[in-house]
Amino acid sequence: MLSDEKSLKYQQILNSIPHWDFGTPAKNLMKTYENTINKTFLSVTSQITAPVLVSFVIWVLYNAEKQNIRNLLFISRDGLVMYEIADILCKKWGIMIECKYFHASRSSLGLPMFAIDKNYALEKLCSLDSGNKTLRDLYKAAGITEFRANLNELVNKKTKEKLLHDHEFQKYALQVSEVELENTRKYFIEYMPESKFAIVDSGWRGSIQEAFGKLYKHFFNRSPSDVTGFYFGMLRTPFRSTGKYFSYYFSPDVNFYRLKGFCIDLFECLCAANHGRVVGYTQEKDGIRMVPVFAEEMLECSSSWDAGKQIELCIAYTKIFASQNCKTTTLPNTQIIDKLFKIFMNSPSREEAVVYGAIPFSRSVIENNVGTLARTLSDDELKTYTFTHRIKTKIIRQPKMNCAPVFWHQGSAVLSNASVLRKLDMKLLLFAYRLKVWLKSLR
């Protein structure tokens, strides 16, 4: 159970937000569910997850109205809870914006891309950020099921060039892509609004909007620069030709220092949907509507955390919030969110590390190599995630230790009973990594 002291800190921060009452809905929600849900999960959802997402959605709606945008497409899966929140606020406050939940993913938008822009499709597929570690992973991400006997070769910088001259891969990838392109076209035609619109998502690198824009141009002969995106945060500034990007919490241009204490992987779990990743589109049995196709595998919930219950709590919070607050032109202060995340993400309690650290997670497009957000590390493993150790490996050329990935470093440090100095050393490594990301974004 989360300590009363920490829960009180969260409550004090919520109560300090000027012009808005974020605190009362949190108190009411915790009182309503106090005997039915894990107390730590309930406290974090009521005092951090729901208030932060409501604050973000208020900002989205405000900016959409300001730019005369009357249609918002909330991109799955992170966009599901955001869509539910927006739908409630629009109806309760009489905001004339139509909100839709748009099923899309890097997989579903990437598969048809090979038939439009082969070079771009391979660039994204072979990117080391894609999570495709081996050729087998890459083939699966491309929708190819007819595997060769040996596809265990690791993906590297030369993989793209090899695949460009691999006639077998080209043949199968094009076959899959052409089918998916037609299905995606039908889905876009059915669900895309006719008037001005914007997409809403968590953000990070802009790859979804980039692919979305290319398909938008191909299907409707409209410029990708017409596409607007509202995001929680951005790790880089995408090219202007791919559209307009607006970031709420951090971007290379504004408040990028906030990335230092922010865990992207943990945030994505706070926005988790209760359905699997979208891998394509198909026609319903009635032959009328196009519907998304979900991957067979889906990341399970843990014993103390449930994505469906998290959405339910966020909806309940928003209903209370919308009843107790009126629409105003004064936006919630993002510095308050900064305080909440610093306490929760960067300095979690043991209870928080146990509950949220147990959430299954994968960075891969095809969601393989699943681990948990945080885990107990051996002393040697802890060392590999320190700034001091990384410097030694660079200078002395000491070989790196191979160990399973750690997604939430500070959660793992707490679970491993790391010393204060070790925690600081781990934070320093994260700061160095974030600095590297920022410097890359300036190029």
pLDDT in tens, 253-299: 899 889 888 999 999 999 999 998 899 999 988 778 999 999 877 66
Q: Note the pTM of the prediction, 2 decimals.
A: 0.92
**Distance from the Cα of residue 188 to its chain's centroid:** 22
> Which residues are registered as beta bridge partners of 281?
292
Q: Is the dihedral of CA 132, 137, 143, 149 positive or negative?
A: positive
Report how far residue 344's alpha carbon sits from residue 349's, in angstroms, rounded to the nearest whole number: 8
pLDDT exceeds cutoff 70 at 111: yes
Q: Is 87's pLDDT higher than 90?
A: yes
**pLDDT, position 127:** 79
Q: Which two tokens stand for residue 83?
A: 């869509």
Question: How far is Cα 410 from Cα 114, in angstroms, rounded to an integer?
Answer: 39
Average pLDDT over residues 386-407: 74
Task: Give the lowest-confidence range in 136-150, 176-190, 429-443.
Answer: 429-443
> Given this model, what pLDDT does residue 133 score?
75
pLDDT at 443 over 80: no
pLDDT of 122 higher than 70:
yes
- Rounded to whole angstroms, how far apart are CA atoms 330 and 20? 9
Mean of pLDDT over the chain: 89
- In the chain, what percentage of residues exceed pLDDT 70? 93
Rounded Cα distance between 175 and 144, Å, is 9
Confidence at residue 85, expressed as pLDDT on a 0 to 100 scale = 98
Cα separation, 290 vs 233, whole angstroms: 31
241 has pLDDT over 70:
yes
Beta 360-361 vs 228-234: how paired, if at all?
Answer: unpaired
pLDDT above 90 covers what percent of the chain? Answer: 60
Q: pLDDT band at residue 100, thresholds of 50, 70 and 90?
A: very high
Given a contact cutoff of 8 angstroms between Cβ atoms, the answer to whether 38 and 358 are in contact is: no
Cα angle 69, 72, 77; round to 5:
155
Alpha-helical segments (H) within 67-203: 79-93, 106-110, 118-125, 135-141, 159-164, 167-191
pLDDT confidence bin for 2, thresholds 50/70/90: low
Every domain of the chain and the residues it spans: 4-107+183-330, 374-441
371 near 404, Cβ under 8 Å?
Answer: yes
* Maximal CA-CA distance, the chain: 65
Cα 29-34-4 angle, rounded to 5 deg: 90
pLDDT digits (tens, 9 = 90+) for 205-218: 999 999 999 999 99
Q: How confident is the model at residue 196 (pLDDT cuts 50, 70, 90)?
A: very high
Bridge partners, residue 247, by sequence: 231
**CB-neighbour burial class of residue 203 (10 A; exposed 0-12, middle 13-18, buried 19+):** buried
Within 21-150, residue ranges assigned H as helices are 23-33, 39-44, 50-66, 79-93, 106-110, 118-125, 135-141
